[in-house]
Amino acid sequence: CPTSSHCGIEGVLEAYHRSLRSVQLYGPTNFAPVVNHVARSAAEVLDGSQYFVLLIITDGVISDMAQTKEAIVNAAKLPMSIIIVGVGQAEFDGK
């Protein structure tokens, strides 16, 4: 990655800002489907050859909190990490 300008957190932020120019943000903010999708992929490679990192950057509170919590608990045994970053003025208190 030393020769790429898309490395590290700078690359993540660059991709986020670039995508904001081409996507329409709207609600509801349902996270369970994307967590379950990545979990299915992670469940297919239990030999330790791959590790998945799901980074969700959101400007809204989670609309399907109960389902998202269940999806995260179910994914806990898989080779994956889930990072959720709240941006903007919404109340991200986890209730």
Sequence spans of domains, the chain = 27-86
28-53 per-position pLDDT tens digit: 889 999 999 999 999 999 798 999 99
Q: Give me the residue label for tokens 């959720």.
A: 84
Beta bridge partners of 83: 55
Cα separation, 5 vs 17, whole angstroms = 15
Tell me what pLDDT residue 62 has. 87
Find out whether the peptide bond into 79 is cis, omega within 30 degrees of 0: no
Tell me what pLDDT residue 95 has. 55
SS3 labels along 6-69: CCHHHHHHHHHHHHHCCCCCCCCCCCHHHHHHHHHHHHCCCCCCCCEEEEEEECCCCCCHHHHH
